[in-house]
Amino acid sequence: MAPIRENDDRMGNLNGDSSSDDAENLWADILSEVQSSSSSKLPTTRTVLVLGDNESGKTTLIAKLQGVEEPKKGSGLEYYYIDVKDEYRDEQARLNVWVLDGDPHHTGLLKYALKEETFSDTLAMLVVSMAQPWSVMETLNKWVEVLAEHIHKLRIPPDVMREYEQSLVRAFQAYTEPGDGPIATQAPPRGEVNPLHPPASGSEEESHLPLGELTLSRNLGIPIVVVVTKSDEISMLEKEHDFKDEHFDFIQQHIRRFCLKYGAAMFYTSVKDERNCDLLYRYLVHRIYGFPFTSPALVVDKDSVFVPAGWDNEKKISILHENMTTMKPDDPFEEVITKPATRKVVQRDAEIVAEDEQAFLAKMQAQLSKQPAPGSAPTPQAGTTEGMLANFFNSLLSKTPGQPGPNKAAVTRDAAAELERMTRGKKSLGETNNTSTDSQGPSS
């Protein structure tokens, strides 16, 4: 607004100090200032749509971007917002965030988060977890197909969709390294300019290098950021699953090729170690609101990777191939990064409850007291042995319920006596057989 004194002078003109032309100019100036003030405010319609499996860390990541320590997880389609502040103009806005449940049955709820009228103001975030690297590519492909199918159902006119697609190409081609161009110094654009879909410059003299064959080969018309959460799990993968640097290079090159295909940026983050979370926030507000951004790509540390949209190409990705010795870059992902075998839970043997002692002894006594089958003649030893054993078990039985069993010392003596009788009987039978054989003598 103009200074107060100047406004007072102008208001004096309205009281008849000058002509009506001066009054019209005053109102024109006031309206211009109001429009300028309104256009300088941050837009309130900008949105981030978050897709990914359950347990991938979506809710925890958004809570970190919000500055919330204890995330509250819901179900279905969750809504959050992130406070965004323009430090240059001391303005604030709320960045809308929709998080879709990882259950495929909830994909129908996308119609409430991404509509035709909100498409141009939306950035999609695909979230996967390094805690399960063997499912990274499967998860990315699954959720990008969910997104593509939903976009296909939107009633966006073909010519408008082509413009969205071309705006992504322009944004990709316009990327410059921090310090080499306007990306590092520009203030947030105002008015009708939307950084998510930058308009054509209007100058045909502006030339850009052509995109590679893979780059934006599948253009969905919506900006995408791929976030790999829980990068702190890399150390665990090395210790417990024998992952080597070449495995992580193999994973990274597959994700970066995926990002090239859709024109996406890529982040490795860890809320636990506070790794790249602030960088992700700054990139989002740069990409969504046009805030200055001065951070270069990070591809050296395997747990802190950052690849901005527009920086990467197939030649840069091929550098990762140099460290691969036991695998080839084009090998199927699931054949190289295999899921560890599930450890079987050791089941303990079922507990065996011993039969009651008295019941067991009674059973043995009953079996021994049974008479031999008709027509069978027991051996001289058998009858005697069975009788002795029956007497032995009978001596062990408690005759009166509730009374203590027989004296252990007495039982031991009885058992020893029975064994002695059995031994003598066996010897006596052997001597009888020998005498009988000797008395027969040789046949004549």
Q: What is the pLDDT along the chain (444 residues), one digit of tens a residue?
A: 433 333 344 334 444 455 566 666 776 666 555 555 544 578 999 999 999 999 999 999 999 999 988 888 788 999 999 999 887 777 889 999 999 999 989 999 999 999 999 999 999 999 999 999 999 999 999 999 999 999 999 999 999 999 999 999 999 999 988 865 554 444 445 555 899 998 876 554 455 778 889 999 999 999 999 999 999 999 999 999 999 999 999 999 999 999 999 999 999 999 999 999 999 999 999 999 999 999 999 999 999 999 999 999 999 999 999 989 999 999 999 999 999 876 555 555 566 777 777 887 777 777 777 656 555 555 556 555 566 666 666 666 655 555 555 555 665 676 677 667 767 765 665 565 555 555 555 544
Residue (of 351, 270, 352) closest to 305 by Cα position: 270
Angle at which helices 136-153 and 245-262 pack, to 10 degrees? 10
d(CA 335, CA 253): 15
Strand 122-129 with 47-52, pairing:
parallel
Show the DSSP H helices in 101-153 as ranges: 110-113, 136-153
Strand 91-100 with 47-52, pairing:
parallel
Residue (of 206, 199, 198, 202) closest to 223 by Cα position: 198
Residue 444: burial class (beta carbons within 10 Å; 0-12, 13-18, 19+): exposed
pLDDT of residue 363: 79
> pLDDT tens digits, residue range 381-439?
655 556 666 666 666 665 555 555 555 566 567 667 766 776 776 566 556 555 555 55
Which residues are CB-contacts of 60 (< 8 A; sequence separation ≥ 6)? Answer: 71, 229, 271
DSSP 312-333: --HHHHGGGGGG-SSS-TTS-H
For residue 440, count other CB atoms closer than 10 A to its CB: 7
CB 405 within 8 A of CB 356: no
pLDDT of residue 444: 42
Show the DSSP H helices in 191-244 as ranges: 234-240
Sign of torsion over alpha carbons 214, 49, 299, 55? negative
Angle at which helices 357-369 and 380-396 pack, to 10 degrees? 150
Dihedral angle computed from the Cα positions of residues 405, 407, 413 and 419, in that order, rounded to the nearest 10 degrees = 10
Residue (of 125, 110, 127, 208) closest to 166 by Cα position: 208
CB 231 within 8 A of CB 274: no
d(CA 125, CA 129): 13
Tokens at 421, concatenated = 């009788």
Residue (of 251, 227, 225, 254) closest to 238 by Cα position: 251
| Predicted TM-score of the model (pTM) | 0.69
d(CA 2, CA 23): 15
